[in-house]
């Protein structure tokens, strides 16, 4: 089946993933950007506003930049597992799954703030897990806090993932108060620098606070779900639930660090789902963040489930459905 082509770590698999990446993103180069009233577009956070000013109205340059970031995130997903082997096997499949999930909503395959925010999220998760069994005070949580907070200056709702710092301390450490304080300080540091910079240049600080409030709590534009998109989302959701059920069933058989890594990833998934359903400012752009833990859940299931035919069929159907979405988006 199709899944067999992507198993292994040979150069041929890398080539197939690159071909898949180009296939999933090909339609984006042929489309023009659509007008949007999303708050993160009309009222961008500071770093995303700076990025927009640099790219300007050059749609091609924006897509190239976004595609480059997706490629980097895919690489980090593979590297994170290769260093920790929490999936118990070296594999490129997490990168492939992330690339496929990036094609669920073609309208977002343009320059948008969630993609750089996703880069900072995976870097923060990696940094949190680096705190495992570090003697003394682990400053990793301070670093991770800075990463999440910096990412929120692109996409404000990333700040809610600051909860991962406290969760990470609870999972990995003994609940040292100084580490909790360092985590909070890490979250505050980029904003303290931003406020200081705005004060020096005479920018309206009240306006910045209002901007943050709008990005965090104002109602976002609803996404017009097509019948095809609904079908694909239902199928993808059921596949994710199957992969999670399988992971939870075998979790206790894994090594301690692997269990803790998957626990942190499960919490990442839970936070993304909660803010999607709870906050009016969050729309389907959250898929870029949700896809990070989901890439590992699905990869683990596709590789290890003993009923090999079922994972192969689910993977093939998902692969084909994503390509169909891309083809339909050209119309």
Mean pLDDT in residue range 39-51: 85
> pLDDT by residue (tens digit) across 90-113?
999 999 999 999 999 888 888 889
| In the predicted structure, residue 131 carries a pLDDT above the cut 80 | yes
Report which of 62, 61, 77 is spatially closest to residue 113, judged by C-alpha positions. Answer: 62
**Cα–Cα distance between 179 and 30 in angstroms, integer?**
48
Tally the domains of the chain.
1
What was the pLDDT predicted at 85? 87
What was the pLDDT predicted at 238? 96
| In the predicted structure, residue 35 carries a pLDDT above the cut 50 | no
% of the chain at pLDDT higher than 70: 96
What was the pLDDT predicted at 101? 95
Provide CB contacts within 8 A for 253, sequence distance 6+: none
The mean pLDDT value of the chain amounts to 90
Cβ atoms of residues 271 and 163 within 8 Å: yes
Rounded to 5, what percent of the chain is helix, strand, coil? Answer: 75, 0, 25
- What is the domain extent for residue 157? 2-329
pLDDT class of 39 with cuts at 50, 70, 90: low
Residue 81 CB neighbour total at 10 angstroms? 25
Give me Rg for the CA atoms of the chain: 20
More confident residue, 245 or 106: 245
Packing angle, helices 114-129 and 59-84, rounded to 10 = 10
> pLDDT by residue (tens digit) across 167-217?
999 999 876 788 899 999 999 999 999 999 998 998 888 888 998 998 998
Give Cα 14 to chain centroid, integer Å.
21
């Amino acid at each position: 089946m199709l899944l067999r082509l992507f198993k292994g770590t040979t150069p041929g698999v890398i080539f197939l993933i690159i071909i898949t990446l180009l296939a999933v993103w090909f339609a984006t180069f042929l489309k023009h950007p659509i007008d949007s009233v999303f708050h993160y577009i009309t009222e961008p956070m500071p770093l995303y506003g700076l990025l927009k000013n640099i790219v300007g109205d050059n749609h091609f340059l924006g897509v190239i930049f976004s595609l480059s970031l997706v490629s980097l995130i895919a690489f980090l997903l593979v590297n994170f597992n290769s260093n920790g082997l929490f999936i118990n096997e070296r594999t490129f499949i997490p990168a492939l799954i992330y690339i496929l999930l990036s094609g669920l909503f073609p309208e977002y395959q343009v320059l948008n703030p969630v993609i750089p925010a996703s880069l900072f999220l995976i870097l923060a998760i990696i940094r949190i897990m680096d705190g495992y069994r570090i003697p003394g005070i682990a400053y990793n949580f301070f670093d991770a806090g800075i990463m999440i907070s910096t990412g929120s200056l692109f996409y404000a709702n990333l700040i809610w993932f600051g909860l991962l710092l406290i969760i990470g301390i609870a999972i990995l450490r003994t609940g040292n108060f100084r580490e909790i304080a360092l985590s909070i300080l890490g979250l505050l540091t980029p904003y303290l620098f931003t406020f200081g910079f705005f004060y020096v240049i005479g920018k309206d600080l009240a306006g910045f606070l209002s901007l943050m409030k709008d990005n965090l709590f104002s109602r976002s534009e609803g996404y017009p779900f097509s019948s095809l998109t609904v079908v694909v989302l239902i199928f993808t959701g059921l596949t994710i639930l199957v992969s999670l059920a399988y992971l939870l069933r075998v979790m206790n058989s894994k090594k301690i660090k692997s269990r803790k890594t998957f626990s942190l990833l499960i919490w990442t998934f839970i936070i993304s789902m909660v803010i999607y359903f709870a906050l009016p400012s969050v729309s389907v752009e959250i898929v870029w963040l949700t896809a990070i833990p989901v890439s590992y859940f699905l990869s683990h299931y596709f590789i290890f489930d003993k009923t090999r035919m079922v994972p192969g069929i689910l993977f093939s159907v998902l692969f084909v459905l994503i390509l169909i979405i891309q083809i339909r988006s050209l119309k």
